[in-house]
Amino acid sequence: MASPAWEKADFEAGMALLKQSVTKLTNILEGLPEMPFSTMEYMLLCTYVRWLNYKVMVRWLSRFFHYLDRYFVTRKSLPPVTEAGMTCFRDLIGFGSPECYEVDFEAPMLQDTAAYYSRKASKWIIEDSCPEYMLKAEERLKQEKDRVDHYLHTSTEQKLLEIKCIEAFKKFYDSSTKNRRLTWIYSLGTCNINAKFDAKSIELTVATYQAAVLLLFNSADRLSYAEIKAQLNLTDDDVVRVLHSLSCARYKILKKTPTTDTVSPNDVFEFNSRFTDRMRRIKVKVKKKVSFLSLFD
């Protein structure tokens, strides 16, 4: 016999179903006519009953813990019961030893999440256009990041949002073509970034590397040359060309310290919030070839 297909609901819908189940049980106990419980309603009802029992246990245990903290813990110079419980949780399940979290919860959750989005992506590809597909994918990534911030351990974020399309295509390409090597040329790609300056918002058309540099300043006010290079994992030649185009060329999107026309490993960069231009949309170009030595002091 096939297992029933569970229908997922958000928090508001789940609370509404829970209230309906409680009302239904009340009507049955009072002898009022009601349809039999469905599988979902039984599950919600059991959840509600267990939650009531949990609240009763917490209320009584809190009184017991208060008695221990007041008389026994103080005399024995022991940590409070609540603190001891948190310490045990941390050592057994939490940050001290995350093996239980990673093996029993995280691994199955990531596997189920991958299968779920694989089905959703297959459906979107058939039904939606490319821009609609990209918007839905971006929205789902944002939702997963929000879930990590609210409910999961911070180490789960990187694993949950890991994008494996490039690795999958490279594996396919290498298996079908033995005499050719796949090289990603990021300099040929462009991105449109809506930059919010003090005067107004300006849409920037930039190269992929330039976009990666600018996005770093969403989470940092100032970044050194070494920090930018480490986070982007680029060569000195690429880092110099990109930073020069953003801080020393026509459009100074970034402010550089010290203020010179060259880029050196000791420079520090920050977002230029006072930048403005008469155009609402500008294209920030990167020089294809720049002398490496001429950009270093």
Closest CA to 254 of 229, 230, 281, 222: 222
Q: Are residues 75 and 111 in the same domain?
A: no
26, 62: one domain: yes
Q: What is the CATH number of the domain that holds 244?
A: 3.30.230.130
Which of the listed residues 91, 119, 152 is the one where a domain comes to its end? 91
Q: What is the mean pLDDT of residues 59-76?
A: 84
Q: Spell out where 41-90 has E strands.
A: none
Tokens of 164: 């494996």
**Residue 75 falls inside a structural domain:** yes
Residue carrying structure tokens 């001290």: 96
CA distance to 18, 19, 40, 279, per residue, from 30 (Å) = 19, 17, 22, 71
Residue 181 lies in a domain: no
- Report the chain's C-alpha Rg in angstroms: 28
Look up residue 154 and give its amino acid.
T
Can you point out the beta strands (E) in 145-259?
Answer: 190-196, 201-207, 222-224, 254-257
- The count of structural domains within the chain is 3
Based on the fold, state whether residues 135 and 41 are members of the same structural domain. no
> What are the pLDDT digits (tens) for 93-128?
655 566 777 788 888 888 888 888 888 888 888 888
Judge whether 234 and 265 are in contact, CB under 8 Å: no
pLDDT of residue 269: 93
User: What average pLDDT does range 125-137 have in this prediction?
Assistant: 82
230 is a domain residue: yes
Examine the domain organization and report whether 206 and 266 are in the same domain: yes
Cα 244 from Cα 24, distance rounded (Å): 68
Q: Looking at the DSSP assignment, which residues form a beta bridge with residue 190?
A: 207
Q: Is residue 227 part of a domain?
A: yes
What domain range includes position 259? Answer: 186-295
So what's the pLDDT on residue 271? 92
pLDDT band at 296 (very low <50, low <70, confident <90, very high): very low
Question: Is residue 191, in this structure, part of any structural domain at all?
Answer: yes
Same-domain status, 127 and 214: no
Across the range 32-58, mean pLDDT stands at: 75
State whether 47 and 115 are in the same domain: no
Same domain, 115 and 15: no
The predicted structure's pLDDT at residue 4: 47
Q: Across the beta sheet with 222-224, what order do the strands follow?
A: 222-224, 268-271, 254-257
Local structure of residue 70 (DSSP, 8 states) = I
Measured between alpha carbons, how far is 176 from 165 in angstroms, rounded to an integer? Answer: 17
pTM of the model: 0.45
Q: Is the pLDDT of residue 39 over 60?
A: yes
Which of 61, 91, 121 lies at the terminal end of a domain, its last residue?
91
The pair of three-digit structure tokens given for residue 199, joined into one six-digit string: 């005067």
